[in-house]
Amino acid sequence: MRVAHLSLRDFRSYTEVELPLDAGVTALIGPNGQGKTNLVEAVGYLATLGSHRVAQDAPLVRLGAERAVVRGQVVRDDRSLLLEVEITPGKANRARVNRSPVPRAREMLGILRSVLFAPEDLALVKGDPAERRRFLDDLLVLRTPRYAGVRADYDRVLKQRNALLRSGAGVRRSRQDSVDLRTLEVWDSHLSTAGAELLAGRIDLVEGLRPLVDKAYQAVAEASFASAGPAAIDYRSSLGEDVPLVADRDMLAAAMLNQISELRKAELERGITLVGPHRDELVLKLGPLPAKGYASHGESWSFALALKLAAYDLLRAETDAGGEPVLVLDDVFAELDGHRRERLATLVAGAEQVLVTAAVPEDVPEALTGARVDVMGGEVRRIR
């Protein structure tokens, strides 16, 4: 699939911009702060209804404007679809597909699929577990849009349950305690139902990614370092060591309830939920060692790229979903050494559509020669 035309209104720095795009590689070139990333961020927004840079929507709307509009003409399976989303901070997004409103913006998910590489990806390896959980969950939604609802439900139950635990944290051993516990059991059961569903989805996903990650790592890493051992991913759940990680929702829900009752005292004392997918970790390993803390800077980059490439491979393999996802490489080449830069460029060069941003043309590897658009002061100009 590809984006044939992107138009923005009051999005980030743009008052209004129209950007026609071809299949193959398009490089968006311009100095920092001129709005290159805003363009690819908008493509990502159409695919995920979220930004890779900020968690809130407010910064996406141009200062002084009330709402932003992102519009994309998407071509998949030779069919053309017009996606439109109107972003109003503090309110629900409004979306239209081919000019007809959809009841919830969420229903637009899955039409455009994109995989984005950005300097922030390094945090996948070096950052907190939350970064890796988000990577898994975002990919899960991209692959199966239904999970957007599962994820939202889980977050909501978790918030409610934490609020209840916090309210009980101060009043232990008082008479109110037993009443609180009865309500808590209700939240336990809702948490385990939603949690098991999310967990089952992640387990499935990790199984799908597992073989692809090492393949991608070997393809990206320098040959001499590749011998440091295979790159592997492992899911570590908060349900305890002896719970088999298979995508069986009923079993997982029961295991989760069990673990919740084991940790009841600790949860009441600390006033937070200690069991569930929000406490899990995707462990990255190079040979026998964990990547975090042991991998060099270059190895960490290779691993981050490998995760994203594996995600791309996984999505691409699903032939019924409208073809290859759109690849977006936002300012990554400047971060990579010469070798990784060339390897990555070669790996993605054949994709149906690749959008690259860079400050100077020299940052774009030769393998990715294609169309070029200059971005300057909120104006875009096609050069070739």
Partner 1 sequence: MYEGVVQDLIDELGRLPGVGPKSAQRIAFHLLAADPVDVRRLVHVLTEVKDKVRFCKTCGNVAEQEECRICRDPRRDRSVICVVEESKDVVAIEKTREFRGRYHVLGGAISPIEGIGPDDLRVRELMTRLADDEVTELILATDPNLEGEATATYLARLVKPMGLRVTRLASGLPVGGDLEYADEVTLGRAFEGRRLIDV
Nearest to partner 1 of 167, 296 (CB atom): 167
Phi and psi angles of residue 265, each rounded to the nearest 5 degrees, phi first: -65, -45
Burial 274-285 (b: 16+ CB within 10 A, else e): bbbbbbbbbebb
Minimum distance, C-beta of residue 176 to partner 1, in the bound complex (Å): 8
134 vs 190 by CB, closer to partner 1? 190
Using alpha carbons only, what angle is made at residue 211 by residues 210 and 215, rounded to the nearest 5 degrees? 120
How far is 187 from 204, CA to CA, in rounded Å? 26
Q: Extract the tokens encoding 283.
A: 């462990």
Q: Smallest distance, Å, CB 270 to partner 1?
A: 16
Q: What gap in Å lies between CA 363 and CA 335, rounded to an integer?
A: 10
What does the binding site for partner 1 look like in residue numbers (CB under 8 A)?
A: 103-104, 106-107, 145-146, 149, 153, 156-157, 159-161, 163-164, 167, 179-180, 182-183, 185-187, 189-190
Q: How far is the CB of 146 from partner 1 (least distance, A)?
A: 4
CA dihedral 70, 75, 77, 83 (to 10 degrees): 20
Distance (Å, rounded) from C-alpha 109 to C-alpha 49? 7
Q: Least CB distance from residue 31 to partner 1, whole Å?
A: 41
The least CB distance from residue 186 to partner 1, in Å, is 5
Under 8 Å between Cβ of 123 and 133: no
**For 6, phi and psi rounded to 5 degrees?**
-120, 130
Closer residue to partner 1 (CB): 182 or 384: 182
Type of residue found at 198: L
Distance in Å, CB of 329 to partner 1, minimum: 32
282 or 321, CB closer to partner 1?
A: 321
Q: At 36, list the tokens.
A: 């290159």
In the complex, least distance from residue 197 CB atom to partner 1, rounded to whole angstroms: 10
Nearer to partner 1, 12 or 151 (CB): 151
For the chain, state the CA radius of gyration: 22
Residue 190 CB, shortest distance to partner 1, in Å, is 6
Pick the closer one to partner 1 by CB: 161 or 292: 161
**Residue 324 CB, nearest approach to partner 1 (Å):** 24
- Among residues 183 and 218, whose Cβ is nearest to partner 1? 183
Residue 159 or 382: which CB sits closer to partner 1?
159
Choice between 156 and 381, CB closer to partner 1: 156
